[in-house]
Amino acid sequence: MNHIKKLLLGIDGSENSYKAASFAADLAEKLGASVTLIYVASEKSTVGFIAKPTYTSGENVLAGGRLDPPKRYLEERNVPFDTVVEMGDPADVILRVADQGYDAIVVGARGLSGLREMVMGSVSQKIVQNSKIPVLVVPKP
Q: Which is nearer to ligand ATP, 3 or 48 (CB)?
A: 48
Residues near 111 by beta carbon (within 8 Å), at least 6 away in sequence: 12, 14, 16, 17, 121, 123, 124
Shortest Å distance, C-beta 84 to ligand ATP: 9
Q: Which is nearer to ligand ATP, 33 or 90 (CB)?
A: 90
Shortest Å distance, C-beta 10 to ligand ATP: 3
Residues that bind Mg ion (CB under 5 A): 111-112, 121
DSSP code of residue 54? -
Shortest Å distance, C-beta 14 to Mg ion: 7
Shortest Å distance, C-beta 140 to ligand ATP: 9
Say if residue 2 is exposed, middle or buried (CB neighbours under 10 Å; 0-12, 13-18, 19+). Answer: exposed
Contact of 69 with 18, CB cutoff 8 Å: yes
The pattern of x and - marking residues 13 through 52 that bind ligand ATP according to CB under 6 A reads -x-xx--x-----------------xxx-x----------
* C-alpha separations of 97 from 35, 41, 85, 100 in Å: 13, 14, 11, 5
Sites of contact with ligand ATP (CB under 6 A): 10-12, 14, 16-17, 20, 38-40, 42, 90, 107-108, 110-114, 121-124
